């Protein structure tokens, strides 16, 4: 899903207006209501700085950038059913798809990080921000289990466990085609190509990435895989499966199709199903499973019916 970026230059005629008024009167076709919501989310920047107040006055010569990610303008909030586990040290969530883990140019409010700040807000000291350690990130399109440390006593140990690969991460991936073997391991060094705007395997440089996969079932021209990553590189599963000629269904950036079995797919069908690790403070074994989300389940159900 691509962003839209509008870059505007304030002229003398518009100087002194409120920011929301100015945006509603430009040629970018925003209603004042939409402009207010985009400003509130954090998608508007003046002279390179994010501005979240609709009443901010603009000045002659100001550079205004508007980032629109085409997702819901209603900010995401954590629901009780999203919480898999919480104590005073950590919280484990089932992240919905199409929610950014961390702030982007298009939004601060409604990201998983900001929603967690909101969830942990102290009603008696609302100005005091929660102490959150972000040790794990999932792509916007990826759903499933994600853990945050929420106490200083947990931060260092959680970081150490992830860095030393002591956390077991299991994914469900629906890919196009089928891998040559029913199970295998992919090892490469991954680096980001700015020219192609994606991650790929390289001979020199990059960071080591190790992906293990096992075939669960074949359905029409697709395969459902269990995937375990021993490293946590950006876009690791997406890049590795694409390089096996089995891109994730819905992963257009890495060569996947935007539809399957007549169903439009608006995100890579990748689900972080399982996460297992020792509690960073209490040192007891923890194991979490997130149910397959509805959009992925609908595609799987349709494919299975087609096979019968």
Write out the two tokens for 13.
């005629």
Q: Are 188 and 211 in contact (CB under 8 A)?
A: no
List where CATH 3.30.2350.10 sits in the chain. Answer: 80-307
CA distance 28 to 5: 10
- 285 touches 276 (CB < 8 A): yes
pLDDT at 28: 84
Element (H, E) at 102: none
* pLDDT tens, position by position, 123-168: 767 677 789 999 999 999 999 999 999 999 999 999 999 999 999 9
Q: Which residue has the tokens 């970081």?
A: 159
State the pTM of this model.
0.91
Map residue 198 onto helix, strand or coil: strand
Can you give the pLDDT at residue 258? 94
Tokens in use for 121? 């807000």
Where does 80-307 sit in CATH, by number? 3.30.2350.10
Stretches where the chain sits below pLDDT 50 are none
Query: Residue 238: its pLDDT value, please?
Result: 96
Structure tokens that stand for 164 in this block: 């030393």
Domain 4-68 sits in CATH 3.10.290.10? yes
What are the two backbone dihedrals, phi and then psi, of residue 156, each rounded to the nearest 5 degrees? -65, -45
What integer pLDDT is reported at residue 1 of this predicted model? 60
Q: What is the pLDDT of residue 18?
A: 94
Please tell me the predicted confidence (pLDDT) of residue 29.
82
- 266 and 259 Cβ atoms separated by less than 8 Å: no
Report pLDDT for 308. Answer: 64
Residues whose CB is less than 8 angstroms from the CB of residue 19 and which lie 6 or more positions away in sequence, other chains included:
35, 39, 44, 46, 51, 53, 54, 55, 56, 57, 58, 64
157: tokens are 């140990």
Q: In this predicted structure, what is the pLDDT of residue 122?
A: 77
Taken in order 21, 25, 26, 27, the sign of the CA dihedral is positive
Delimit the CATH 3.10.290.10 region(s) of the chain: 4-68
């Amino acid at each position: 899903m691509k962003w839209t970026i509008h870059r505007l230059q304030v002229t003398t005629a518009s100087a002194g207006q409120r920011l929301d008024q100015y945006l509603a009167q430009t040629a970018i076709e925003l209603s004042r209501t939409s402009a207010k919501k985009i400003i509130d989310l954090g998608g508007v920047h003046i002279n390179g700085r994010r501005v979240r107040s609709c009443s901010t006055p603009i000045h002659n010569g100001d550079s205004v950038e508007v980032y629109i990610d085409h997702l819901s303008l209603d900010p995401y909030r954590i629901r009780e059913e999203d919480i898999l586990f919480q104590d005073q040290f950590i919280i484990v969530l089932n992240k919905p798809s199409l929610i950014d883990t961390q702030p982007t140019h298009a939004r601060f409010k409604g990201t998983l990080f900001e929603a967690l700040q909101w969830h942990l807000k102290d009603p008696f000291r609302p100005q005091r921000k929660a102490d959150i350690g972000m040790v794990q990130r999932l792509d916007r399109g990826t759903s499933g289990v994600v853990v945050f440390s929420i106490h200083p006593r947990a931060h260092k140990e959680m970081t150490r466990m992830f860095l030393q690969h002591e956390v077991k991460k299991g994914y469900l991936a629906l890919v196009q085609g089928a891998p040559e073997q029913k199970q295998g391991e992919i090892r490469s060094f991954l680096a980001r190509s700015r020219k192609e705007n994606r991650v790929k395997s390289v001979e020199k440089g990059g960071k080591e990435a190790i992906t293990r996969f096992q075939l669960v079932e074949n359905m029409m021209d697709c395969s459902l895989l269990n995937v375990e990553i021993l490293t946590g590189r950006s876009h690791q599963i997406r890049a590795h499966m694409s390089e096996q000629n089995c891109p994730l269904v819905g992963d257009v950036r890495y060569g996947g199709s935007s539809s399957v079995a007549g169903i439009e797919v608006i995100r890579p069908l990748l689900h972080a199903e399982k996460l297992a690790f020792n509690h960073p403070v209490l040192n007891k074994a923890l194991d979490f499973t997130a149910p397959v989300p509805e959009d992925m389940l609908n595609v799987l159900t349709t494919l299975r019916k087609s096979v019968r």
